[in-house]
Structure 1
Amino acid sequence: MEKQVNLDRISNLPWDVLDSILVHMPLKEAVRTSVLSSKWRYKWTGLSQFIIDDKCFTNTILDKVARWKEIMKIIHLVQLNHGGPLEKFTLAAYCHPDHADLDQWIYFLAQKGIKELILQEFDSVKRFKLPSCLFSCSQLKRLELSDCSIKLSCEFRGFNNLAILQLTQVYIDSDTLESLILKCPVLERLTLSLLDNQAAFKIHNPNLKYLKIDSDFLDICLENSPSLDVVDIRLRHDKHQPRRFDLGQPCNVARVLSCLPGVKRLTLCCEFLQFLANRNIPERHRSLLDHLSVLDLREVRFRHLKEVMTALCILRSAPNLEELFVSVYDQTSDFSRPVIDFLRAQYMLDLYLSHLRVVKIRGVSGVESPEWEFIKFILAHSPVLETVTTVRYRGERVPQSLFQQVISVLFAVTVLL
């Protein structure tokens, strides 16, 4: 009887097939394939993608410097044995990198035609200065950076293929940021978080579809960004340092909304509502947000009249709104009479949210509060409303009896109208 020969079919697969298998494994598991045989010893070092995160370390390695030393062992082996393209690298491990080592590694990636580079969640005493070689990577499609400083080289001509850009805790001046965004002609997603040294955000990009800003700034300009589909803006600053939003602009809410003609989902937070509420809020406003279907207003200070007026101005600008989400900023002030009187005066307003189906408001207080007057206003002007969810502060659901009281008052108001 003829002996059956055991064939190692996996080892003989083409490298592109093996690569597509190994890159879907955690790097720690891919490295373990080196013990299979001498043929597999360095196969993992030739991968086209490397993701170094917390899963690569045992629970005993907690020291940030020790973690970086382990990462450098991986990097050195890759540098010695990697023969093909290296398309994606992610460093998302809580470590303390040596800047010289990181600089050399980025130079290596640039030579390998990197397409996706993600550097995040590492700790550094001072910002890592991004090497100029990165700006020659014309094939980059995704770039996510944190804890670094960026200065464009004179030779920088742009990232012609970059579709995703995310900057977190990055030092970059306003002019450099504006230039960087302009020189990414196919950019679709832009996220800017906790940036240093930003006096103003100037976002100009005709293909940009998604914009998220969570940072400190004095002004924002979104001109020439007609493709914006999703916008999420949160303005952060030191609450112990009062600031004024008065840069000579006639009205921020009118100026900013006019730059968002195609936005479909809009998320705005407390401090940015304050920014929009400068000068006089127009009582009536033409429809500027005709395509807006989802509006999310977070941490609204209902005791501040101008911010409530701003919220209503946004609603008046969005005739096709379908879903409205509001969270109430927790505050102890009882000075709410002007806001309540203003909202009650709006019942006669010729405004109907004819497409609004879903409303959810979190953090409401008692019936005699601005939040409840706002709810009654919404109910009175939303003829096709299907679902209203109200949650009291600290997550308590509003009692049914309390909600019925609001419905009764609303019915009486509707009869008068």
Structure 2
Amino acid sequence: MDLITPVCDDRITILPADVIHRILLFLPLKAAARTALLSTQWRSHWRRIPQLVFFNDFRIAPNDESMMKTLIFNICRVLLLHDGPIEKFTLAVPGLRSAPCESEIGQIILHLSNRDVKTFQLVFYVRDNQVYKLHSALFSCHQLNALDLRYCEFRQPSWFVGFGKLNILHMCQVILPTDFFENFLGKCPNLQTLLVKDCVGPSNIEVVAPRLQIFTFYGYLLQICFKHAPLLQSLVIDLHVRGQGVEKPVVDTAALFASLPALQQFRLDFQLLQYFAPGNHVSAPIRLPAPLHRIQSVNIRSVDLGSWEKAFAFACLIMSFPNLLYLTIQLEASQQN
């Protein structure tokens, strides 16, 4: 009697839909596109992948003058084939010799605005201090809940009404208008996390963000005021020094802490705490006007204990946090020995 050998199913091509979906999410975009060759089912899922990340996927040499045209062609091709919602879109292109064409990138952003993109990241690192001027089509993406912009110029159009669903905003080396904090943030009522790093623009900052919980700032400023941030829990201000003869920041630290009733942890430069040292037309208080019972973690950089007055002022500050659990101090370089 002849033995009949059973035909084994191809397990790769008949995987459950949820398994295929998870696999595609973990693959680089180019590899995910190649899975369309496996079967009709894989091709169908590839065309509905919710996250599109273009970051060195196509291995185009940074010195190639046709780099952006090739990249944009591939992006447009993917978008035309894509059939489904796009929750996340990332375009990161380092090493450009010139800024990309504003209108071409604008067409891509406009397409995304019609697909209700929720997370958008744009990174253009251009040599010779050139910057990409952000296309106004971005301000039509009303479903955004996370926005990450780097190495570009931020220009808010007059017709912009706001991002009502934006929760997370990251700005890194972006040219900002001087009224960015007052004007733009005022139109993002649900913003919870804000990161501003090495940006050019406003030096006098006034924050009105009723739902803001995390605020991180790296850069240069003269004044900062939290006019309305009742839910802020984490604060980081890391100042950059601009050399001799430059105006130094002036911050009423007591007023700063008083305006943040929910604050639990902070990291500040010691120079922001000069309110506690004599010489600023006020006497050094023994403590803050009211103890901050919520503060549990404190990190203070560039601490200057070179005089008795400054050391005493620093001790007075720490005494204002009766429930403090974690304290990190970084001394000035001249005092580390």
TM-score bucket of the superposed structures, by smaller chain? 0.7 to 0.9
Provide the rounded CA distance (Å) in 1 between the counterparts of 2:237 and 2:70: 38
2:76 aligned with 1:72: no
Q: How does 1:42-121 map to 2 (within 5 A)?
A: 44-54=46-56, 56=57, 58=59, 61-63=61-63, 65=65, 68-96=68-96, 98-100=100-102, 101-120=104-123
**1: CA distance, partners of 2:203 / 2:86:** 37
Alpha carbons of structure 1 residues 43 and 223: separation in structure 2 relative to 1, 3 Å: same
For 1:302, what is the secondary structure of its paired residue? Answer: coil
Question: Closer, same or farther in 2 for the Cα pair 1:186/1:310, shift >3 Å?
Answer: farther
| 8 Å Cα contact 1:245/1:275 also seen in 2 | no
Give the Cα–Cα distance (whole angstroms) in 2 for the partners of residues 288 and 209 of structure 1: 21
Q: Which segment drifts farther, 126-135 or 256-265?
A: 126-135
Is 1:303 the counterpart of 2:306? The answer is: yes
Structure 2 contact 276–317 (Cα < 8 Å) conserved = no
* CA–CA separation in structure 1 for the residues paired with 2:92 and 2:62: 14
Percentage of identical aligned residues: 29
* Aligned equivalent of 1:197: 201
Structure 1 residue runs without a partner (length 5+) = 333-362, 366-417
2:224 match: secondary structure: strand
Equivalent pair of 1:174/1:197 in contact (CA under 8 Å): yes
Distance 1:207 1:6, change over 3 A: same
Q: In the TM superposition, what is the alpha-carbon distance from 1:180 to its structure 2 partner?
A: 1.7
- CA deviation profile, 1:303-361 (whole Å, cap 9, x unmatched): 266654553343122111111101112127xxxxxxxxxxxxxxxxxxxxxxxxxxxxx
SS in 2 for 1:331: helix
In the other structure, the counterpart of 2:266 is: 266
**Structure 2 residue 152 is the aligned partner of structure 1 residue 148:** yes
Q: Of residues 26, 36, 39 in structure 1, which corresponds to 2:38?
A: 36
Q: Contact 1:258 / 1:288 at 8 angstroms: preserved in 2?
A: no
Gaps of 5+ in 2: none
Cα distance in 2 for residues equivalent to 1:313 and 1:79: 59
For residues 259 and 301 of structure 1, do their structure 2 counterparts lie closer, same or farther at Cα, with a shift above 3 Å needed? Answer: same
Tell me, yes or no, if the aligned pair for 2:176 and 2:201 is still in contact at 8 Å: yes
Which residue, 163, 170, 173 being the options, matches 2:174? Answer: 170
Q: Is residue 2:221 matched to residue 1:217? A: yes
1 or 2, which has the higher helix percentage? 1
Note the C-alpha offset of 1:44: 3.6
RMSD (CA atoms): 3.0
Once structures 1 and 2 are overlaid, which stretch shifts more, 121-130 or 32-41? 32-41
* Residues 208-248 of structure 1: CA deviation (Å, up to 9, x unaligned): 110001111111011210111111001224224432445xx
> Is contact 2:153–2:176 with CA below 8 Å preserved after alignment?
yes
- After superposing the two structures, state which structure 1 stretch, 86-95 or 117-126, moved more: 117-126
**Which of 227, 241, 248 does residue 231 from structure 2 map onto?**
227
Q: Name the residue aligned to 1:27.
A: 29
Partner of 1:256: 256
Give the structure 1 partner of residue 326 of structure 2: 323
Describe the SS at the equivalent of 2:208: coil
* TM-score (structure 2 length as normaliser): 0.84
Displacement of 1:258 in angstroms is 1.3
- Aligned-partner residue type, residue 90 of structure 1: T
Higher strand share: 2
Flag the structure with more relative contact order, 1 or 2, with Cα contacts below 8 A and sequence separation at least 6.
2
Q: Partners in 2 of 1:317 and 1:252 — Cα distance?
A: 15
8 A contact 1:262–1:289 mirrored in 2: no
Output the amino acid matched with 1:142. A
Distance in 2 of aligned mates of 1:121 and 1:163: 23
Cα gap change, 1:45/1:74 in structure 2, threshold over 3 Å: closer, same or farther?
farther
- What is the Cα deviation at residue 113 of structure 1? 0.7
- Partners of 2:13 and 2:193 lie apart in 1 by 40
Q: Secondary structure at the match of 1:203?
A: strand
Give per-residue Cα distances to partners, 1:17-74, cap 9 Å, x unaligned: 64443122222321332443687668645421112224x255x835375654553243
2:285 to 282, 290, 295: 282
The residue identity in structure 2 corresponding to 1:120 is V
Is 2:295–2:323's contact at 8 Å kept on the other side of the alignment? yes
Amino acid paired to 1:298: R
Q: Distance in 2 between matches of 1:64 and 1:330?
A: 44
Bigger-Rg structure (1/2): 1
- Where 2:54 maps in the other structure, the secondary structure is strand
Per-residue deviation at 1:264?
0.9
Which one-letter code corresponds to 2:176 in the other structure?
I
Distance 1:51 1:306, change over 3 A: farther
State the shift of 1:293 in Å: 0.3
> 113-122 vs 237-246, which deviates more?
237-246
Residues 222, 259 of structure 1: 8 Å contact kept: yes
CA contact (8 A) 1:185 1:205 kept: yes
Closer, same or farther: CA 305–255 of 1 in aligned 2, 3 Å: farther
SS in 1 for 2:53: strand
Secondary structure of the structure 1 residue equivalent to 2:305: coil
Provide closer, same or farther for how the CA distance between residues 37 and 144 of structure 1 changes in structure 2, counting only shifts above 3 A: same
Q: State the shift of 1:287 in Å.
A: 2.9
